[in-house]
Amino acid sequence: MQPTKQKKFNLWRLIRDERGVAAIEMAFALPVFMFCVYGIIEFGRYAYTQGALLYAAEETTRYATVNYDATTDQLMSIASGHAVGIKKQNIKAINVDETLNAVDQTKLVTVQIQYNHEFLLPIFDAAGVTIEGSSKGFLVEK
């Protein structure tokens, strides 16, 4: 049996060795990529929720325009029903303000919907963010 030679440590060989480079690059790039994907998804959810609230407020105002004698409770029910694709339990408030001008029998209807938007991952704020959708309509009694 021949004695085995011990390989001596060679710094230049270690520097030129490219094994494992892809794993290290992935370790640096993957968290940044995943954070960007998460941000895009959250921005899309936020924008959809904002659009759904605006749609509900506008449809409620349109309903009030057609139905001059609609009560506040009816308008709140319409607003809740038109908030499509969002969690109804996260709606904080639906405010309907009907200001009647007694002189010319006109009415200004303002609908405001407040919603607590929760993030998929509670990185930013565990309580969520309040989003508001509002619409105004001017009504004339026929």
Q: Is residue 2 part of a domain?
A: no
Q: Is residue 134 part of a domain?
A: yes
Domain count, the chain: 1
Buried residues in 24-55 as b, exposed as e (16+ CB within 10 A): eeeeeeeeeeeeeeeeeebeeeeeebeebbbb
Task: Identify which of 107, 95, 110, 112 has the alpha carbon closest to the alpha carbon of residue 68.
Answer: 107
Tokens describing residue 79:
């607003």
**Does residue 111 contact residue 139 with C-beta atoms inside 8 Å?**
no
Higher pLDDT, 122 or 96: 96
| DSSP letter, residue 142 | -
* Side-chain half-sphere CA neighbours of 66 within 13 A: 8
Least confident of 6-15, 30-39, 80-89, 125-134: 6-15
* Model pLDDT for residues 34-57, shown as the tens digit of each residue: 999 999 999 999 999 999 999 999
Dihedral over Cα of 127, 132, 133, 139: its sign: positive
Q: Domain limits at 96?
A: 11-140
Dihedral over Cα of 85, 67, 135, 113: its sign: negative
* Model pLDDT for residues 80-117, shown as the tens digit of each residue: 899 888 988 988 988 888 887 778 777 888 899 999 99
Percent of the residues in the chain that have a pLDDT greater than 70, as a whole number:
90
CB contact set of 116 (below 8 Å; sequence gap of 6+): 90, 91, 92, 127, 128, 129, 130, 131
Q: Is residue 111 part of a domain?
A: yes
Quick one: average pLDDT of 49-70?
Answer: 89
Q: Is residue 106 part of a domain?
A: yes
| DSSP letter, residue 6 | P
pTM comes to 0.76
pLDDT at 142: 59
pLDDT at 69: 81
Q: Is residue 94 part of a domain?
A: yes
Q: Is residue 55 part of a domain?
A: yes
Q: Is residue 4 part of a domain?
A: no
Q: Is residue 81 part of a domain?
A: yes
**Confidence category of residue 12, pLDDT binned at 50, 70, 90:** confident
Percent of the residues in the chain that have a pLDDT greater than 90, as a whole number:
33
